[in-house]
Amino acid sequence: MEGLPNTVWQPAVEAGFVDEVRRFVKQRIVPLANEIDAKDLYPAEIVRDLAKLGCNAISLPKKFGGRELGYAHSVAACEEIGYGSAAVAICLITIFQAQTMLNTFGSESLKQQYLPQFARGLIASYALTEASHGSDIRKLETKARREGDGWVLNGEKSFITSGSRAELFVILAQTDVGVSVFVVPRESAGVSTYIGENSATFGLRNGPHVNVRLQDVRLPLDHLVGQEGKGVRQAVTTLDYSRTLAAGISVGIARAAFDAALVFARDRTAFDQKVVNFQGIQWYFADMLAKIDAARLLVYEAARALDNHDDVIRRASAAKLFASEVATEVAARCVQICGAYGTMVNAPFGRFMRDAKTYEIGGGSSEVLKNALAKRVVNYAAEL
Q: Does 135 bind ligand FAD (CB under 6 A)?
A: yes
Count CB atoms within 10 A of the CB of residue 40: 18
Which stretch in 43-51, 74-82, 201-209, 317-325 sits in contact with ligand FAD by CB under 6 A? 201-209
Task: Cite the DSSP H helix spans in the chain.
Answer: 17-24, 33-39, 44-53, 71-84, 86-105, 108-119, 231-267, 279-308, 312-337, 339-343, 349-358, 366-383
Among the listed residues 96, 159, 169, 352, the single contact to ligand FAD using CB under 6 A:
159
Among the listed residues 114, 126, 264, 285, the single contact to ligand FAD using CB under 6 A:
126
Side chain identity, residue 193: T
Report the C-alpha gap between 266 and 273 in whole angstroms. 10
As measured in angstroms, the least distance from the Cβ of 363 to ligand FAD is: 6
Q: Does 351 bind ligand FAD (CB under 6 A)?
A: no
Among the listed residues 50, 160, 210, 214, the single contact to ligand FAD using CB under 6 A:
160
Q: Closest CB to ligand FAD belongs to which residue? A: 134
Which stretch in 157-165, 215-223, 240-248, 342-350 sits in contact with ligand FAD by CB under 6 A? 157-165
Report the C-alpha gap between 191 and 37 in whole angstroms. 27
Instruction: Kindly report the length of the chain.
Output: 384
Indicate the helix (H) or strand (E) that contains 174.
strand 168-175
Report the C-alpha gap between 28 and 279 in whole angstroms. 36
Compose the 68-107 pattern: x for residues touching ligand FAD by CB under 6 A, - for all others. --------------------------x-------------
As measured in angstroms, the least distance from the Cβ of 38 to ligand FAD is: 16
SS3 7: helix
Among the listed residues 60, 153, 368, 372, the single contact to ligand FAD using CB under 6 A:
368
As measured in angstroms, the least distance from the Cβ of 291 to ligand FAD is: 22
SS3 280: helix
Nearest Cα to Cα of residue 348 among 32, 16, 4, 19: 32
Which stretch in 158-166, 184-192, 215-223, 291-299 sits in contact with ligand FAD by CB under 6 A? 158-166
Using CB under 6 A as the criterion, which residues of the chain lie in contact with ligand FAD when the complex forms?
Answer: 94, 125-129, 134-135, 159-161, 201, 204, 209, 358, 361-363, 365, 367-368, 371
